[in-house]
Amino acid sequence: MATEALTLQNFLSRFGVAQLGAPMLILAILAMMVLPLPAFLLDMLFTFNIALSVMVLLVAINTQRTLEFSVFPTVLLVTTLLRLSLNVASTRVVMLEGHTGPDAAGKVIEAFGHFLVGGNYAVGIVVFAILVVINFVVITKGAGRVAEVSARFTLDAMPGKQMAIDADLNAGLIGEDDARRRRSEIAREAEFYGSMDGASKFVRGDAVAGIIIMLINVIGGLIVGVLQHNMEIALAAKNYTLLTIGDGLVAQIPALIISIAAGMVVTRVSDEKDVGQQVLGQMFRNWRIIALTAGIVGLLGLIPGMPNLVFLMLAGSMAWMAYRMVEREKQPAAEAVVVAPPPVQETQEASWADVQPLDVLGLEVGYRLIPLVDKMQDGELLRRIRGLRKKFAQEVGFLVSPVHIRDNLELRPNAYRILLKGVEVGAGEAYPGQHLAINPGRVAGTLPGTSTHDPAFGLPAIWIDSALREQAQAFGYTVVDASTVVATHLNHILLSHAAELLGRQEVQQLLDHLGKDIPKLVEDLVPKVIPLGALQKVLQNLLEEGVHIRDMRTIIETVADHATRTQNADELTTQVRVALGRAIVQQLYPGNGEVLVMSLDPALERLLLQAVSGGSDKASFEPGLADTLLREAAAAAKRQEDIGQPAVLLVPSSIRLLLSRFLRRSVQNLRVLAHNEIPETRILKVTSLIGGRS
């Protein structure tokens, strides 16, 4: 059966019916309310309505779990609209053609108005009223109440269920995929019962509308028949009332069937069996109850004046059923084989396997961002993260650890956070389906949306609808989608924490990779000349100041040349920076143009040289001097960025490390270079003097 359904679904999808079916059905329903329909087409539509309601009931009966029929609230709305549109279409035909006879509105309405109620409109009114009462007062009201209570209980139980899932996940009883699936089912279940609570109001409104439509049709038919067609009052009442009753019955019977299906869906308890199997398995499994019922019915059948034959026949049938159940129980009992119970497994002691290492890089997302990182939904963010790691390896010079992605229900639905060794280093929000319009500083207008800041660089931004994308670009905004926002933030984190991401394992992998081209140099360096940890510290020093380590050949050769004289990582880093001077300047100033830099006022420079003359980078600044230096360095860096140039401060080699570490945390994006790091072929031009006039 599943294979047939899948084949039908594929067939409909191939011809586009699955995508166009729902819009076409809604348009057809709306058209029926406006356009006149012939009687034959009404017969077809009424028959389709009955068949559709029966199909919905059978699906509800054979559903094993509630969420297998999660589209039911939508089906309930569509079928209600279909019935109401048919009422409007049939009312139009009845009013226009009712004087011509009982078949004016088609054979279906005639059959329901004559055959089912015997052509007696008084009986028809009573039957119609009873059906409406059953549907409105009993079934629909009860189903709506059950859906309301179920929705409330489901929402109240969600935190406990989610905690249970987290506990099973932490205990290793389930995997992340199972946990994600179970969380999704919990959310869908709450949404389903909430939708059913609202959808039941449609059915109740349909019942009220049926009564009002019937009264309007009867009164309107009398007026049309008597005044416009000169019919006798009795004949007009008979014709129009029978047609109205037939119209009402042909609509209320499918409504009753749909209401029964709704009641069965919301009142059933999830099980691995459908409703029929549950009823047979739970009501007819105890032969004693069936035998006792047979005895009571048999005693009633012996009372004089009762329909003895009917009662005794039913009692005999139930007694035979109980006898067969007893015989069936005896046969397996005689052939049962005693099976030894399985040995009880003792709880295992804790072991080192229970200690899980922290992920180097982690990304946690709220549940609304799950589609961006879900493999099954071809998440766009997954591809971007793979591209980020590849680009980082090509530009910076080593491969970072994979980004471990998981969902976190403690976060806000649209929130995410980036973790480095279990510690949050970045957080933000993204809205799938919307775009972030970032204000670079010069825009021509404002946009409607949610004001925020770019999570990567802190620029003012607005979350806007996708329809405003072109307008935002025309105003001068930088417009990116949700996955790009998260990917850009992650890329910024990777670059700013590159030194922390370079562990000893990454350094060893880097050496192993490099050893394929220059094996002798690598073998002679580590660990014969310098330990792996010291080389790691040199590389981390470079990365902390934004220097890429792609040119590992030059780095290793320089370290090998000077490691025999000193093992100090800072001194080795200074020598490596000089060797990489051309690459450092090229990274900041592409091409061969002028190198526009900032410099220190000669008086301030002499003062700083005196401060470090006794203790190198261990020297400290006088508080007033430190405050002035920070303030003027920040102002000069901003002026440098305003003219479109990188903020680079050129200083003597002996104070470069001290100033770099002092200014790094306070002045963003400021690079400090030494005089001997600038290639002789590049032309220098000083644009600002720190500590003097610009």
Q: Which of 3.40.1410.10, 1.10.510.10, 3.40.30.60, 3.40.1390.10 would CATH assign to domain 361-499?
A: 3.40.30.60
Strands 403-407 and 434-438: unpaired
pLDDT at 222: 72
Residues present in the chain in total: 694
Tell me whether strands 415-420 and 423-429 are parallel, antiparallel or unpaired. Answer: antiparallel
Q: Is 354 helix (H, G, I), strand (E, B) or coil?
A: helix
Q: b vs e for 218-240, b when ≥16 Cβ sit within 10 Å of the residue's Cβ?
A: bebbbebbbeeeebeeeebbbbb
Say if CB 193 and CB 154 are below 8 A apart: yes
CATH superfamily, with its number, for domain 502-579: FHIPEP family, domain 3 (1.10.8.540)
Identify which of 541, 536, 672 has the alpha carbon closest to the alpha carbon of residue 598: 672
Strands 595-600 and 478-481: unpaired
Q: What is the rounded CA–CA span in Å between residue 49 and residue 54?
A: 9
Residue of 117, 86, 83, 87 lying closest to 102 (CA atoms): 117
pLDDT for the residue 23: 73
For tokens 């790091």, the residue is 677
Residue 648 confidence (pLDDT): 94
Q: Distances in Å between the alpha carbon of 135 and those of 123, 143, 259, 455, 546? A: 18, 10, 7, 55, 73
Q: Where are the alpha helices (DSSP H) in 36-140?
A: 39-62, 72-97, 107-110, 121-133
What beta strand segments (E) does 191-272 contain?
none
Q: What is the architecture, at CATH level 2, of domain 592-694?
A: 3-Layer(aba) Sandwich (3.40)
Residues 6+ apart with CB under 8 A from 511: 522, 526
Amino acid at 322: A
Tell how far CA 554 is from the center of its chain: 48
| Residues 509/399, Cβ–Cβ less than 8 Å | yes
Please give the pLDDT value at position 3: 46
pTM of this structure = 0.52
Q: Which residues contact 327 (CB under 8 A, 6 or more apart)?
A: none
Query: What pLDDT, on the 0 to 100 scale, is given for residue 167?
Result: 65
3-state helix, strand, coil in the chain (%, to 5): 65, 10, 25
Q: Are 549 and 501 in contact (CB under 8 A)?
A: no
Question: 195: number of CA atoms within 13 Å, CB side?
Answer: 19
Half-sphere exposure of 532 (CA within 13 A, CB side): 12
Residue that has been written with the tokens 């389709």 in this structure:
48
Residue 620 CB partners (closer than 8 Å, separation 6+): 611
* 274-283: long-range contacts, CB 8 A cutoff, minimum separation 24: 274/61, 274/62, 274/63, 274/64, 275/60, 275/61, 275/62, 275/63, 276/61, 276/62
Give me the pLDDT at residue 43, please: 76
Using an 8 Å Cβ cutoff, are 506 and 397 in contact?
A: no
* Rounded-to-integer distance, Cα 121 and Cα 98, Å: 15
Rounded to the nearest 10 degrees, how much is the dihedral formed by the CA atoms of 18, 21, 23, 25? -160
Structure token pair of residue 546: 């934004």
Mean pLDDT, consecutive 10-residue segments, the chain of 694 residues?
Answer: 48 53 71 73 78 81 72 78 78 69 64 63 72 71 70 67 68 70 76 70 71 75 73 71 72 76 68 57 69 79 75 81 78 50 62 79 92 81 89 92 90 94 93 92 87 91 92 90 93 93 92 89 86 93 93 93 91 94 92 90 85 61 81 90 90 91 85 93 90 57
